[in-house]
Structure 1
C-alpha cells in the first residue's frame, strides 16, 4: 500500500517546484488584477462622476462611497479573465526560459507540470466564491439602491428586497409596487386589489398605501375601495386583509440573484416551489454562482498551449494568441448560455455548466494534440527512419 508521502509525490513530485510555480502565478494574478481594476474603476468613475456630484450635498465622500461599491463588482467580473492572463504569462515565461524543457527532461508529464497552476487556480476559485458571497452581493444591492435614489446623500439603509409583484389569490389579482422588511415585519407598499366575479368581470378596485403582516394576518392601511357596479368610493384608515399568501412568498418573488447569498437564494427557490411557481430562472443563476468562480480552474488547460513547444521563430507568440483565443471563446460561450438560461431557453444545469465541460474537453484535446500525442508520433518516425550505413 502506498504511504502518504509516496502518494503525494505521484501528484506533486517537488514541493519546491510547486511553491515556485504557485507563487509565480499568484504574483502575476494579483498584479494584473490590481492594475486592471484600477484602470477600469478610473474610467467608470469618470463616466458617472457627474451624476454622483449632481446630488444635493454630494462631495468627495460620495465618490469614495461609489468606488467602495463598484470596485467589488469589477474585481468579481474580471477574476476569470485575469486568471487567464496570469496563466498565459506564467507559462510563456517558463517556456521562454527553457524551464519547461528542464521539467520535461526530469520526467514530468504535461499534467504534472500544470498541476501547481491548478492548485493556484483552485485557491483563486475558492477565494472568488467567498468574495462573491460576503462582499459582492451586498455591494450589488447597496449600489443599485443608491442609484435608484439618484445617489442621494444621507440615504437611509435599504429595507430589503423591492420590486413589483403580481399574484393571483382566488378570484382577486394583487399588485404590489414594492416589498420591504422593517425589523421582523414585512411591508408591502402601494397595494392594488382587482376583485373579479366568477366570470372574470371586474367588481371592485381596492388601493392601499401599504400593508403589513403581523400576528399571523395581513392588514391594509389607508384603504380606498371603488365599487365598479355602484361607482361608490369608500375610505377606511385600515382593514383586515384575508390573504393566504405568506410574507416569504413576496420576498421570494422579489429576490435578485446578484443581491443575495448562496443559501438565501436556495431558500427563496424552496419558497417558490411550495407554491408551485417556476424556479428555472433562479436555478440558472444559482448554479452560475458556482460555475462562475469554477471557470478559473479551466485557465491552466486553456493556456497550456503556451507552455509546450519551442519558442523560436515567433512560435511562442502564436501559442499565446491561440491560448487567449480559447479563453475568450469560453467567456463568450459562458455569457451566451447564461443568457439562454435566464430567458428559459436552455435548462439551468446546461446553461451554467455546459461551457465549462465543453472547454474542459477542448483543453485536454489541445494538450494531447500538441504535447502528449506528439511523442508517440516522433517515436514512430524515428523507428521508421533508416539508420545511416545500413
Structure 2
C-alpha cells in the first residue's frame, strides 16, 4: 500500500485541484476588489468635490490625490465583502461548468478545496492587518490633516483655535489649555495649567492653577515663562520661569490624538498607553485593536460561508435563491458587526467581545452550513 493512501486526513493535501481552485478564487477576488474599489473611489471623488471642493477651489488632480488618500481605508473596511462576493463567484463558476460535480463524483471531499481557500483568506487577512492596514491608516491620517488645512484656509478665520492637553500618572493629573500654539517655535501661548492630585481611591482633588504667557516642552519638563500660580487658600505667586515635570514626548504637546481609524496596528498599543496616561477613555482604541486582530478570522469565515452556499447549489439547483441568501446573510453579519461596534464603543459590552463576536458568529454559521452540506 502506498504512503499516499494511508494519509489520515487526505483533504490537507495541496495538489493540482487545490491550486486550480485557488487560481479561480484569486481571479474572482481581483474582479470583486476592482469593482468595489472603483465604486468607493467614485463615491469619494464626488464627496470630496462637493465637500472640500465647495469650500476651496480645487483642481481635478488635487481632488484625485485626496481621494487616493481617503479611499484605501474604506476599501479595507469592505474587504470582507470582497471575499464574500469573490469566493461566491468563483465557486458558482465552478458549479456552472460542472467542475464541482466532477470533483465530487471523483470522490474529492469539499474540505479539500474549501479549506485552502479559507487559508488563503486568513493569510491575506494577516497581510492586511500588518502591512496594508498601516499604510491605509497613514494615508487616512494625511487626508484628515490635509482636509483640515484646506478647510481652515478656506474659512479665512484669524481666530486661533484653543488647544487642550491632558497628561499625568497615578498620583497627579494636569489639564492644559492654551489659547494658541506656535508650531514653528514649539511653544504654547496663553497657557493655563489645572493640576489635580489623585488619592488612593482614584479620586481627583483640585490642587493648583498656573497661568503663563508661554510654555515649551523639552527633556520631560514644561518650561513656563512669566507664570502666576495659586493653590487653594493661598496667595498667588509669580514666577519668571517655572519648570513642571511632564510625561509627554517633546512633539506630543503639538499633536492631537490620532483617530483610531488613522492609527496603525503597530502604533495602537503605544497609543492606548498614551491615552490612558492622559486620563482619557481608551475604549475606541482597544476596540479598534481587537477588530484588527479579528480581521483574518472574518476574511476566512466569509470565504467559507460563500463556498458553503455554492456547494448547496450543486444539490438544490437554485442558483439565484442561494446566491441572494448568501449576500443577505453577509450583509446581516455586517450589520451585526456595526451593532457590536456601537455597543462596544458605548461600553455596553467589552471591546474584545464586540470585536470577536461577529467573525465568530460568521464562522460558526459557515461551518454549520458546510457540515450540513458535506456530511448531511
TM-score when scaled to structure 2? Answer: 0.78
* Counterpart check, 1:214 vs 2:215: no
What SS does the aligned partner of 2:150 have? Answer: coil
Q: Which residue of 1 aligns with 2:340?
A: 337
What SS does the aligned partner of 1:108 have? Answer: coil
Counterparts of 1:196 and 1:267, CA distance in 2: 24
- Determine which structure has more spread, i.e. the larger CA radius of gyration: 1
Alpha-carbon spacing, 1:355–1:50, altered in 2? closer, same or farther (3 Å): closer
Counterparts of 1:96 and 1:164, CA distance in 2: 61
Counterparts of 1:173 and 1:203, CA distance in 2: 10
Residue pair 1:189, 1:211 contacting (<8 A) in 2 also = yes
Q: Which residue of 1 aligns with 2:156?
A: none
The one of 349, 357, 362 equivalent to 1:346 is 349
Q: Which residue of 1 aligns with 2:201?
A: none
Counterparts of 1:172 and 1:274, CA distance in 2: 9
Cα shift readout 1:168-216 (whole Å, capped 9, x = no counterpart): 7878752346999979x9866764223689xx99897544465332234
Residue pair 1:257, 1:285 contacting (<8 A) in 2 also = yes
Alignment of 1:1-390 (within 5 A): 10-13=10-13, 15-54=15-54, 58-151=58-151, 164-167=164-167, 174-176=175-177, 191-194=191-194, 206-208=210-212, 211-221=215-225, 239-247=241-249, 254-271=257-274, 279-310=282-313, 315-373=318-376
Counterparts of 1:98 and 1:179, CA distance in 2: 69
What displacement does 1:331 show?
1.2
What displacement does 1:350 show?
0.9
What displacement does 1:231 show?
11
Q: Which residue of 1 aligns with 2:200?
A: none
What SS does the aligned partner of 1:262 have? Answer: coil
Residue pair 1:118, 1:297 contacting (<8 A) in 2 also = yes
Alpha-carbon spacing, 1:211–1:297, altered in 2? closer, same or farther (3 Å): farther
> Any stretches of 5+ residues in structure 2 without a counterpart?
154-161, 198-203
Residue pair 1:281, 1:344 contacting (<8 A) in 2 also = no
Residue pair 1:305, 1:322 contacting (<8 A) in 2 also = no
> Any stretches of 5+ residues in structure 1 without a counterpart?
154-161, 374-390
Cα shift readout 1:112-138 (whole Å, capped 9, x = no counterpart): 231232133134313322344431111
Residue pair 2:165, 2:177 contacting (<8 A) in 1 also = yes
TM-score when scaled to structure 1? Answer: 0.75
Counterparts of 2:166 and 2:225, CA distance in 1: 19
Cα shift readout 1:137-190 (whole Å, capped 9, x = no counterpart): 11121111122223578xxxxxxxx9743457878752346999979x986676
Which stretch of structure 1 is more off in the superposition, 259-268 or 217-226? 217-226
Report how many aligned residue pairs link the two structures.
360
What displacement does 1:9 show?
7.8
What displacement does 1:67 show?
1.8
Counterparts of 1:123 and 1:357, CA distance in 2: 17
CA-based RMSD of the aligned residues comes to 4.3
What displacement does 1:348 show?
2.2
Counterparts of 1:327 and 1:76, CA distance in 2: 16
Which stretch of structure 1 is more off in the superposition, 202-211 or 135-144? 202-211
What SS does the aligned partner of 1:175 have? Answer: strand
What displacement does 1:353 show?
0.8
Which stretch of structure 1 is more off in the superposition, 173-182 or 87-96? 173-182
What displacement does 1:276 show?
8.4
What displacement does 1:89 show?
0.9
What SS does the aligned partner of 2:42 have? Answer: helix
Residue pair 1:218, 1:242 contacting (<8 A) in 2 also = yes
What displacement does 1:79 show?
1.1
Alpha-carbon spacing, 1:345–1:203, altered in 2? closer, same or farther (3 Å): closer
